[in-house]
Amino acid sequence: MNNLSGVGLGLRREMLRELCGQLPDTVDFWEIAPENWIPLGGSYHKVLTQFTKANNFVAHGLSLSIGSPDPLDINFVKEVKHFLNQHNILYYSDHLSYCSGNGHLYDLMPIPFTEEAIHYVSDRIKQVQDILERPLLMENVSYYAAPGKELTELEFTQGVLQESGCLMLLDVNNIYVNSVNHGYDAEEFLANLPTDRIVYGHIAGHFNEAEDLIVDTHGADVVEPVWKLLEKAYEIHGVFPTLLERDFNIPPIAELLLEVEQIRKIQHQYQQSEIKGTIKNAMRSA
């Protein structure tokens, strides 16, 4: 099933016991990290297959390491392709960062914002897309330092999207986090992203370390400024499918579904605004 719309939720193995083999029908699509499922067989494979046969799924990777100085892990990409085919998953995304260099780094490291890096990353994205025979989605990431910076984050992101031809997973929380940590205008950043490349979005919670330092944790509820930025994203780009991420401090499913419904409420609000605007324009033209 490949139709992506509405509101999504990240599926974590910690949720399986509470879900009891049944996914809530109030969630339109689910997201999984292939690395957390590929090695597993037995009951885990059986449950996931049951879920993916009956529900829309996307895959969001953790270790593609698209900006790494190490050679691309071709065998891993082929494993991901098999996993996507096995579960009929069209969209596969990963982070516009890297997590390996002479070994695994256990964190998402920032790619230098340079023209050279744009060319390097774009070539690797094209290689991945050729192997997968699918579009690759790149997610804008949170970062805490910008070594070797020659371009802005926006210029670098625009450059990779244009040169590689890849699609985008738009993380609204990461834009907010970076705008505070690096002192830029989050709405201006949003407004300069290409609407036609955005496939779906992420929204999540974070931790305020200080007034000018936010840590992107995915371990808390979404805060009001991020909800407001999501509204602005819909105003600029139209309503796109949006998924709630929660990676730890995972509350009961009922609590997560409250935030899922908050996303849906905002989507409905802007969809109604779009409809009213279309009707008004039609009446003016009549």
Arithmetic mean of pLDDT over the chain: 91
- Please state the rounded mean pLDDT for residues 66-83: 95
Domain boundaries 7-285, corresponding CATH code: 3.20.20.150
Q: Indicate if the pLDDT at residue 6 is higher than 60.
A: yes
pLDDT at position 124 is 97
pLDDT at position 103 is 55
284: confidence class by pLDDT, cuts 50, 70, 90: low
Residue 8's H or E segment, with its range, is: strand 7-10
pLDDT at position 71 is 93
Residue 187's H or E segment, with its range, is: helix 186-191
> Is residue 209 a contact partner of residue 180, using CB atoms and an 8 Å limit?
no
How many angstroms separate the Cα of 140 from the Cα of each of 6, 174, 244?
21, 7, 16
- Token representation of residue 56: 């829309």
pLDDT at position 1 is 44
- Output DSSP code: residue 90: -
Listed range (98-107, 116-125, 144-153, 160-169) with the worst mean pLDDT: 98-107
Residue 233's H or E segment, with its range, is: helix 224-237
pLDDT in tens, 244-263: 999 888 999 999 999 999 99
**Cβ within 8 Å of residue 131, ≥6 positions away:** 74, 77, 78, 81
Domain ranges of the chain: 7-285
- Please state the rounded mean pLDDT for residues 236-245: 97
